[in-house]
Structure 1
Amino acid sequence: MTLAKHLAKRLTELGLETEVSGQILIVKHEEIANRLKIDNELEVAFVEYQRLRRSVFDPSDFTYAYSTAVEVPLTRLHQEVFRDADEVTFTDERKNTVTICRASYNYMFAHFDSKEYTELFAERVFRLLTYKQINFLRSAQMLFRAPVTATYKSNARRIPANLNSIALERIRSCLAKLAIERHACYEVVKKKPIRSVYKLDNVQESDWLMPRASYEPTLVNYYKVARSSPFASQSFLSYYHILEYYFLRVAEDSLHHQLRTQINRTDFKVNTDGLDKVISLVRKHGSNNDETDMLRKVLQRFVSEDSFIEYINKLETDIGTKIYSKRRQVLGEQIEISLKEGHAISNAANAIKHIRNAIVHSSDRYKRDECHIPLTESEITIGEYVPLVKYFAEQVIYGTATTAEI
């Protein structure tokens, strides 16, 4: 089968009308028709792909095994785009290789044939093909996903039974070397669960009016770092810093009110008994340095509990599960946010402080399930709680804003 016919068959299965004319694939949807050209290089590569005896795409982790090779997609962690090209090859004494470059044609074809392609098709390809009619030929390469990948190729005569595990181990070693020596950081792509709270945080429509308030620049800086970080754990910490910024200020404000109340009493006297009461208040304040309690006071100062409960209810409705209000194991501890007045803020403070501790502590005095290890499954768990700490951070930013000068 030619590549054009193969593409036509697959796109037809996905709901488009197709027609093949030589090396041209015509894609139709309602009144719109677009033409895609099959490049010779793509056609030759497809012939080789069809000849492969071993070709397995694993949708659970996006790995692709073919012949004596295993290819895995990578995600770029560093932000320097204009640096060394994404194309390097590592070798060992047995002439096994690890190559980091754009995905091979084999990977692109295998992904196109897999059930995972339906997600890419729905999110991007369908719109590109049917948004409007283009009067010039476009390359059929637009149909494919071509991420940066790492390919381990074995030079052994017989394919090892555990080739995939060997490949991942060798690839990770090479990625570590690349990060240390060349400052280029990549990580093997992991499949996220379908239940993802990130999908709920869509870009909002704006009225493009200037805000009537001026926001604390330091808090906004923390917020921008949180928003732009590719790591859920780092986003969580930056949002937490916004809350932590007011720990002492809120606590001291509470002390000021207590002192004023004591000093302004009609029966207050500057004698031993009166001064002892003032000293007692100050000492009690100084000894109460529990961060969870300080966090709770900040949240209670700036956040309406009713609004927070309403926010949680909406999140859980959109996600389709009680991800916050039902007790669950989170980084070594049972977490639950009771959606009852007088409990929700306090429970949320306990949850947020626990996750913060799991992120910042890596000492071996903690069990492994109590700590966050970067780029592991715990990143997903923390990501599910980012909407909560982000919500609180935004309330603090709004609550500490001042009226803008006109």
Structure 2
Amino acid sequence: MTLQDVKEKFKELYSKYWLEVVDEHEDEIFFQSRGGFTIKASSDDLRSYLDFETRKSSYIHEPFETCLCSKDHFEQMITSGNRYGTFLNMRRGQKITFGNHETDSYYVEISEASLDYKNYLRFNEYFLMRTLDRIRMNVGRGRADQDRDIGFYVYAPLTIKVCGLSETSPQKLAEKSLEIIEGCLFNVSYLKGIALVLEEEFPHRQPIGDDFKYEDHDFGSELPLPRSSVNRDVARFYQRGMVVEDSINQFLSYYQVLEYYFLSVSDEELYRKLTTIYNDPGFKSSPKHLDKVIQSTLNHKRESDETEMLRLVIAKHVSEDDLVEFIGAYEDHLGEKLFTKKRKMFGELTEIRLTTGHVIGNVSKRVKLIRNALVHSSDRYNRNENFVPTRQAELEIRKEVPLVKLLAEKVIISTAQ
């Protein structure tokens, strides 16, 4: 690649978005925003990118799209996981280090992304949009300097870097580096009270369920008075699900609304069976008839696992038609067959068949499968896959929340007095 090739690439890719080429010289390009602000791609920036192109082939973009890895360098995007606690707020030039680069065989550093990382991902759509957002923000505040070039505003997230190691392949270095990084993340949490999270993919602007409304009740600022009294205990579980931002706690809070009624609904089913026996005109207090009572009770205890209890609660309080309608609308919103396409979750195949008599049972199994995976982390609990709280895994759980939220709402309304 030549300098002219770099110039053509800059002009083509930056012009696709917010900037327009208005002038250029041998080693400079001047862009203008729609608002009339001029910014340049300087000689230093263009040549820096050209220099990077000579070694770009030594890097791989694995094992995650947020990684940059070669035989002797590993770097991955990192963000703060603390929403309410201590937040990692680092300015340009600041860093957190693990180990000593002068005395240790390797060390780890958290700091602004390296120049190679920024150049490798400079024209990634997410990076481009963040870069342009930074330019807009500074222009809007009157802080942008026309002498600064685009390179100054290129998005530079925090990354964690493993330095000093060398392996025979980038893949082997990545594997070793990730093991080291997990220990470093624990140390910074334990010693400084800061939770840091490895990003495994760039944020994508796609629907994940947060903005989905199955029933859009538009009452403005005037709401109706309650027509009935809801159970205060279950309402508080529901409210907790509404206020927490973590998708796992959301799911479990809504699930607790359903779980609250497990025993009462299960016992009602037993009472119904026993009443049928007692109401039989031929019933007598003889061993033959009493055995039926005993057997029904014993069978009830054996059959009353939590999945069956959940099914009974849903069957009693939620309409199958409502579930079918909700699933159709939600899958349309997501643009994918989240529920109705057979797929593997936590070691089990799951699918919700939208046919009469199958919906409630399928929904119950799916919700219970997810609940167990979130609650049980022991590798001895069962032989299924366990849930590990990565960002991608949490995103998948977030997609499941609207279903269990709907179930909780229907149960609260149905049980109101």
TM-score of the aligned structures, taking structure 1 as reference length: 0.74
Pairwise CA distance, 1:91: 1.8
User: For the Cα contact (< 8 Å) 2:78–2:158, is it kept in 1?
Assistant: yes
Cross-structure match for 1:27 = 33
Cross-structure match for 2:55 = 54
TM-score of the aligned structures, taking structure 2 as reference length: 0.72
User: For the Cα contact (< 8 Å) 1:90–1:97, is it kept in 2?
Assistant: yes
Structure 2 gaps of 5+ residues are none
- The answer to whether structure 1 residue 349 and structure 2 residue 364 are counterparts is yes
**Where does 1:3-402 land on structure 2 (aligned, <5 Å)?**
9-14=12-17, 16-19=19-22, 25-28=31-34, 33-35=35-37, 48=48, 50-52=50-52, 53-55=54-56, 56=59, 58=61, 60-65=64-69, 69-83=73-87, 85-86=89-90, 87-91=95-99, 93-104=103-114, 106-117=116-127, 120=129, 125=132, 134=140, 136=142, 138=144, 144-154=154-164, 161=170, 162-191=172-201, 198=208, 201-202=211-212, 207-210=220-223, 212-213=225-226, 216-227=231-242, 232-255=247-270, 272=285, 280=294, 288-365=303-380, 369-375=384-390, 378-379=393-394, 381-401=396-416
> What SS does structure 2 have at the residue aligned with 1:293?
helix
The one-letter code of the counterpart of 1:328 is: R
Distance 1:128 1:343 in 2: 54
Higher alpha-carbon deviation: 356-365 or 4-13? 4-13
RMSD across aligned positions (CA): 4.7
User: For the Cα contact (< 8 Å) 1:26–1:34, is it kept in 2?
Assistant: yes
Offset from partner CA, 1:278-308 (integer Å, 9 cap, x none): 9657666555532111101111122110111
The one-letter code of the counterpart of 1:347 is: N
Q: Is the alpha carbon distance of 1:358 and 1:14 closer, same or farther for their aligned partners in structure 2, counting shifts above 3 Å?
A: same
User: For the Cα contact (< 8 Å) 1:299–1:392, is it kept in 2?
Assistant: yes
The one-letter code of the counterpart of 1:389 is: V
Number of residue pairs matched? 388
User: For the Cα contact (< 8 Å) 2:7–2:46, is it kept in 1?
Assistant: no
Q: Is the alpha carbon distance of 1:50 and 1:165 closer, same or farther for their aligned partners in structure 2, counting shifts above 3 Å?
A: farther
User: For the Cα contact (< 8 Å) 1:19–1:27, is it kept in 2?
Assistant: no
> What SS does structure 2 have at the residue aligned with 1:58?
coil
Offset from partner CA, 1:345-382 (integer Å, 9 cap, x none): 11111222222223333333456643223328654554
The one-letter code of the counterpart of 2:55 is: R
Distance 1:151 1:380 in 2: 25
Offset from partner CA, 1:105-129 (integer Å, 9 cap, x none): 55344322235546x46xx957995
User: For the Cα contact (< 8 Å) 1:309–1:339, is it kept in 2?
Assistant: yes
Q: Is the alpha carbon distance of 1:384 and 1:19 closer, same or farther for their aligned partners in structure 2, counting shifts above 3 Å?
A: same
**Percent sequence identity over aligned pairs:** 26
User: For the Cα contact (< 8 Å) 2:75–2:161, is it kept in 1?
Assistant: yes
Q: Is the alpha carbon distance of 1:137 and 1:231 closer, same or farther for their aligned partners in structure 2, counting shifts above 3 Å?
A: closer
Distance 1:366 1:266 in 2: 44
Distance 1:381 1:211 in 2: 35
The one-letter code of the counterpart of 1:35 is: F
Q: Is the alpha carbon distance of 1:209 and 1:252 closer, same or farther for their aligned partners in structure 2, counting shifts above 3 Å?
A: farther
